[in-house]
A and B are shown apart, each in its own frame.
Chain A
Amino acid sequence: MAVGAPRERTEAVESTATWRRGDRVALALCWAAGIALCVIAAAIVLYMLFKGIQTLRPALLVDRPSDGASQRNAGGFFDPLIGTVVLTVMGTVIALPLGVATALWLVEYGRPSGLARAVESGIEVIAGTPSIVLAIFGLAFFSQEIFSLLSFTAEGNAVFGRSFFIASIMMSFIALPLVFGSTREALLAVPAHVREASYALGKTRWATIRRVLLPSIRPGIATGTALGMGRIAGDTAIVVILLGGTLRLEAAGGPPIFSTLKGTGSTLTSYVYENSPAGEGNAYDKAYAAAFVLLIVVIALNFAIDFIARERGTARWS
């Protein structure tokens, strides 16, 4: 199939007046679908903005939450905010090396090819696995006694299986396919002659990866990371199951930072969930305020992706 390079699309000059009625109806439906998407997005953003301005007070960001009976004394969401940041950072820190290494191995080595195919489908499987299933897998796996270091333990050595450590390990599997995907895409976009030039200079594959490929695919890795961070910050199911469901950060015993990570807490997503009619908090204004902050975080990460994509345009081969 000889297909030339895609050319600029020529603008068709055509009046729809001559079209059959069915075709014109279809065209109208296309317009309706496109406009509906815009309207829905605008409605969500404007509504959240309106609610956010109405409910968000700076004090909410620095006050710790408390189990108040009414909205007025339920406190702020300082702890959930910290929880979101900790979980996002730790999840990304785990997913980044795993995703990049897997993509590098698959594209640059990929031997034996059967294993490579299996790994490729494996990533697809993880991408398709619902986060709720990842969550209960994490609970089953990390409740075993050998992982007692990672979470609270009750009397008689029963491991609680819920902590920041465990939640961020499972969160990393949400970000993994995204990091892997953009890294692989970036690697495949590096032309073969770049690698060949490096080999011709007597460099090994590993040296080529470290000195040539890694620096040049950095924007791709960054895009995947930002996408992954957005997904981690927005996930609720893993938090509800694996973070213990305490409103405040509850530290387990041990050295300061380690004990917090071993302990339980909440994130913005679980805070919104608990304070919605579905949860027990029933503080709708607080839920709106936290959801607004969460939406800003997610939109900011999206802008970051746009920014990275624009920067990427500067690096050109040949």
Chain B
Amino acid sequence: MGSKDARAERMLGAFACVVLLMIVLMVVSVMAKAWPSFANNGLAWFGSGGGETVDAQLSNIFNSPANPKDFVYELRAWPLLYGTALITLSSLVIGLVFALLAAIFIVEFAPKPMQRILEPVVRLLAAVPSVIYGLIGVLVLVPFVGNTLISTERKEDVIFVVQLSGNSVLVAVAVLTVMITPIMVALIVVALRAVPTAWTEGSAALGVNRWRTIWTISVRAVRPAIIAAAVLACARALGEAIMLSMVSGSLGFSPNPLDGLTFLFEPTRPLASTIVEGAEGFSVPPFGQTLYAFGAILLVSSLILSLGAHYAKRSLRRYGLTP
């Protein structure tokens, strides 16, 4: 009987190894494809400037001569990196506050009937495909922002620098926040529910009110879970390509916070959207390699984030707080 059992173990183990093999292959092949773009630009790749806008640089790369010796690689990707960081971090910060409050509400303050509604609501918001968020964003929110919130004077003010159409940081951050909040709510709710009732009841018995109890006892106890939730949501936001390519304006432009309110209405384009929009250029080797370089940045970031979530969850386990 032993041999059959051993064979089963080896077979199942082989399946498990496919997963590891695939990750190694992914890192190696994306890096290998991306290398020429990094190698030809050096550290300046991450910088700004270069005399032309990033979109002009990209189209130069796209139109490189066919002779491999004359390939153009010159790229200063800062506006795209900045756009990615700006959109991701803003929606993460707003979403985290929103998610924490909503999770506390669901666990502690919501009346029973509302609790029953909120659970499917969170799941629904997490399940709606990003292309539907993008469609609503681009056909409802973008025209609203473009026609109502941005005054004609504001548009005329900056017409020579950038066109304000409603495709903006504001809409991108708003829709992305709605997309990543439910993920965080779900994870934080699970963690808050796992806090032993003895802890919170002890606090309540000392005369501490319900808000203070949940804020100082439960929320503090589940801090690692909150970090893990934020990290996972960050990975999701970083890789969001379709929705952002629909609403963010698709322009390699760095919105400037010094512009005051206009800043919110300026367009930008994150890395992931740049890859999707350049999908037809993969057949041009230098352009494809540049897109792989964007992918490599996303891959490395998401690897670091996975690692971060892993450690956050581990410290949670130490307190015995994983359900």
Give A contacts to B, CB under 8 Å: 1, 3-4, 6-7, 9-10, 12, 14, 16, 18-19, 23, 26-27, 29-34, 36-38, 40-41, 44-45, 47-48, 97-98, 101-102, 104-106, 108-109, 111, 115-116, 118-119, 121-134, 136-137, 139-141, 173, 176, 204-206, 209, 230, 233-237, 240-241, 245, 269, 272-273, 276-278, 284, 287-288, 291, 294-295, 298-299, 301-302, 306
Contacts and interface: CB of A to CB of B under 8 A. Distances in A.
A240 B26 contact: no
A294 B132 contact: yes
Interface in B95-127: 98, 101-102, 104-106, 108-110, 114, 117-118, 120-125, 127
B42 interface: no
Interface stretch (B2-10, B59-67, B74-82, B155-163): B2-10
B105 A133 contact: no
Interface string B285-321: 0000001100100110011011001100000000010
Where chain B touches its partner, the secondary structure class is: helix
Contacts of A16: 209
Given A105-B12, A129-B302, 20 more contacts: A9-B197, A14-B209, A32-B101, A109-B13, A126-B23, A128-B232, A128-B303, A129-B239, A130-B236, A133-B298, A176-B19, A206-B4, A234-B132, A236-B242, A276-B134, A276-B138, A291-B131, A294-B129, A299-B127, A302-B127
Interface in B242-280: 242, 245-246, 250, 272, 275-276, 279-280
Contact of B101 (A33, A237, A245, A298): A33
A273 B129 contact: no
Contacts of B33: 136, 140
Given A30-B105, A40-B178, A302-B127, A130 B98 contact: no
B17 to A, nearest CB: 8
A155 B282 CA distance: 17
Q: In the A-B complex, list the 9 residue pairs whose CB atoms are closest, starting with the nearest.
A: A130-B239, A234-B129, A101-B15, A105-B12, A33-B101, A206-B8, A34-B105, A30-B105, A128-B306
Contact of B98 (A33, A41, A136, A206): A33
B129 A132 contact: no
A75 B309 CA distance: 46
B5 A291 contact: no
B246 A97 contact: no
Contact of B9 (A105, A129, A140, A294): A105
A128 B235 contact: yes
Contacts of A9: 197
Contact of A276 (B135, B279, B298, B306): B135
A276 B196 contact: no
Given A273-B246, A278-B134, A119 B20 contact: yes
Nearest to A26: B211
B112 to A, nearest CB: 10
B123 A302 contact: yes
A121 B23 CA distance: 11
A122 B20 CA distance: 6
8 contacts: A23-B211, A124-B310, A129-B239, A136-B33, A137-B25, A276-B131, A287-B135, A299-B124
Interface of B: 1-2, 4-5, 8-9, 11-13, 15-20, 22-23, 25-26, 29-30, 33, 98, 101-102, 104-106, 108-110, 114, 117-118, 120-125, 127-132, 134-136, 138-140, 142, 178, 181-182, 185, 196-198, 201, 204, 209-212, 215, 232, 235-236, 238-242, 245-246, 250, 272, 275-276, 279-280, 282, 291-292, 295, 298-299, 302-303, 305-306, 309-310, 320
A101 B12 contact: yes
Contacts of A140: 29-30, 33, 292
Nearest to B245: A278
B235 A235 contact: no
B239 A131 contact: yes
A132 B140 CA distance: 26
A262 to B, nearest CB: 19
B19 A123 contact: yes
B276 A137 contact: no
B101 A102 contact: no
Contacts of B280: 245
Nearest to B177: A40
Contacts of A130: 235-236, 238-241, 272, 298, 302
Nearest to A2: B198
A91 B192 CA distance: 34
B246 A276 contact: yes
A176 B295 CA distance: 21
Contact of B30 (A119, A137, A209, A299): A137
